[in-house]
Amino acid sequence: MHVSSPENCDIDILENGRTVKDVIDNKIKELGSMDNEEPFYVANLDSVYKRHLRWLTSLPRVKPFYAVKCNNTAAVLRMMRALDTGFDCASKAEIQMALSLGVTPDNIIYAHTTKPLSHIKYACAHGVDMMTFDSEDELLKVSCCHAKAKLVLRTAVDDSKSLLKLSSKFGARLVSVGKLLERAGELGLDVIGVSFHVGSGCTEGSTFKQAIADARHVFDIAFSEVINGALDEFFPPDSGVQIIAEPGRYYVESAFTLAANVIAKRIVSDDVDEHSDCQENSPGRMMYYLNDGVFGSLSCIVHDPAHPNCEPYLHRVVESSERRYRSVIWGPTCDSFDKVIDNYWIPELRVGDWLLLDNMGAYSLQISAGEKENSTVFWTMGGYYGLAVLVGVSLLLTTGQCDVSCSGLDGRPGERGAPGRDGYPGAKGEKGEPVVMVEGPVDPGVLLRLKGEIGNRGSQGVMGPKGYRGALGTAGSPGTAGRPGPDGKSIGHGGQQSHLQARSAFSVIRTDRSYPRVGQVVTFQNTVVNTPEDFNAATGHFTCRVSGVYYFTFHSVAKVSVCLYIASDALLDKLGFCDYNRNSEQVLSGGVVLQLTARQKVWLESFKDQQRPSELTDSQEKQIIFSGFLLFANTE
């Protein structure tokens, strides 16, 4: 069964035991038959409706104003309209969306503390009076454009327990509240309330309680049990204060599942993890490329710290025996920043496989005003919740209007809820009258009986639950030493300097005012590093002590022409580098990687001496830096 709308927003009613997983399976088969590999969402409006019922049950005094910025798809907004929530709008475009649904202006709050003047004027022209502020400058803007505004002061709160912190950017500190309220009075503006934002992804109840206590403080100047308790404590029902909230992620995050297709793969065979269980000749790291990434639907991975860890899972059935490989999953763009997840161990994927990601309904499908929805969304609804709101939502989808005063047929009775918690202990009763014991026969009509003899001891009861863990006892005496372990493998060749066998590095500087003549070995005056004395600065020769692979490099700074060789017994030809210069200071650099054996030498040598005598004795210092070090030693 489907419900259709003019906006191409069909709703698939789940009947006869069908589930969201069945819808995903069918859509993948349909797209495969059409050679369509584009990513898509499957959204279950049941989840949104259940969240709304939970809100009404848990926070009955708090009216939700849905945060349009979180997910502004047409079906979600129309459903919120059908559920008669308010709308939290952060821009002119979002106000336009809400008004186009028939939302009355008094059910809209312009919840942004830094508003453009043109947007304030638009809100004023369309009767949207309720809006937030947190600074004197914002008060001045509002006083110029919307003198009849109903202002809500946003305060900064402790959001240290939240994943996405906002108080560093928005909100007035409590110390400045008095001055702001006084300034608003001077400007003739009406401040009707206080708001706060504890940050996105906050699950610490004490944070809400403190924020509500701060709100009570502002009024003095001018999780569900914790929140309800704090509301009753600081704003009792008879205080006349209306409480509203601006949930977004709460309603829509769990309702959406994203399906993305593997469009390419690559095997990186030279990056095998030595600690993995990969066998010889097996692939090392696998790279997969999806048709969606962080520049598309998965932008929340980068920009939304409150989003849970991204862990896509394979749509097709995976056998438990399939080997897992260390993998990287990329988006489709050419940007190296487009990385979805790294070091993820999954079975080998095939091109054409589909990956699914749950909880993708928040901050991933935003649509600009006047634009069509770019993402493909398949909508579903079912169960008792789908039947309960089907009439209202279908009217909104087809006509854009919903008479919320009408009611459909009574639904089926809900299932019996779980037993409630035990109540608090009752008050202690009053002390009874004293008993007067008299001799003589006992009247059968009187319940008073004389105290009898002590009965027999009863049987032992059932063992109670385990008690709390006791304090840690004092440390015992040390045990006996264990047996020595096996000998380790030896590395290198023994000797008096065996600890130096695999180390060699030097860096020296020549600061002489003249360059060496042609064919002359370059010598150096200053030694920066020489470990362990393998370079002779006086002769300019490096002598190999540890056979292995070395890297040598030099840098020369001068205002004259420079021609230098890197020479070695290990080279058939010398490596020459030249820089012909007559006017400005130039840098000449060169480098080489060499395989050396013990006692082979490496040095720096001048050639093609084309300088004029005046250049050779230039008054400016000419610096040559020569460096080298062992990359790795031969193992044999």
**Would you please indicate which residues are annotated as catalytic (active-site) residues?**
334
Q: How far apart are CA 109 and CA 127, in angstroms?
A: 11
Question: SS in 3 state form for 173-227?
Answer: CHHHHHHHHHHHHHCCCEEEEEEECCCECCCCHHHHHHHHHHHHHHHHHCCHHHH
> Regarding beta strands 313-314 and 150-155, do their DSSP bridges make them parallel or antiparallel, or are they unpaired?
unpaired
**Four-point Cα dihedral 227, 228, 234, 238, nearest 10:** 150
Q: Phi/psi at 593 (nearest 5 deg)?
A: -105, 125
Q: How far apart are CA 155 and CA 218, in angstroms?
A: 9
- Largest alpha-carbon pair distance within the chain? 145
Angstrom CA distances, 632 to 86, 101, 550, 593, stand at: 68, 71, 7, 11
Residues 40-72: b if buried by 16+ CB within 10 A, e if exposed: bbbbbbbbbbbbbeebeeebeebbbbbbbbbbb
DSSP 521: B
The set of residues, in sequence order, having a beta carbon less than 8 Å from that of 68 and lying 6+ positions away, is 77, 87, 88, 89, 90, 94, 97, 98, 248
Angstrom CA distances, 121 to 108, 109, 111, 126, 554, stand at: 15, 14, 15, 9, 67
Coil/strand/helix, residue 527: strand
Q: Which of 625, 620, 634, 615 is nearest to 546 (CA)?
A: 634
Q: Which of 535, 544, 474 is nearest to 502 (CA)?
A: 544
Q: Which of 148, 151, 165 is nearest to 195 (CA)?
A: 151
For the record, the structure tokens of 4 come out as 């259709």
Angstrom CA distances, 166 to 170, 198, 243, 364, stand at: 6, 8, 21, 19
Q: How far apart are CA 400 and CA 82, in angstroms?
A: 10
Centroid of chain to Cα 470: 39
Burial of 257 (C-beta count, 10 Å sphere; 0-12/13-18/19+): buried
Assess contact for 5 and 397: CB atoms under 8 A: yes
Q: Phi/psi at 230 (nearest 5 deg)?
A: -70, -40
Residues 320-350: b if buried by 16+ CB within 10 A, e if exposed: eeeeebbbbbbbbeeeeebbbbeebebbbbe
Q: Could you tell me the end-to-end alpha-carbon distance of the chain, in angstroms, rounded to an integer?
A: 75
Strand partners, 556: 588, 624
* Strands across the sheet containing 623-633: 526-531, 505-510, 623-633, 548-558, 586-596
Quickly tell me which residue has 């608003």 as its tokens: 184
The count of C-alpha atoms lying within 13 angstroms of the C-alpha of 415, restricted to the half-sphere facing its C-beta, is 6
Q: Which of 354, 336, 353, 345 is nearest to 286 (CA)?
A: 345
Q: Which of 630, 631, 633, 629 is nearest to 529 (CA)?
A: 629
For the record, the structure tokens of 616 come out as 């050779």
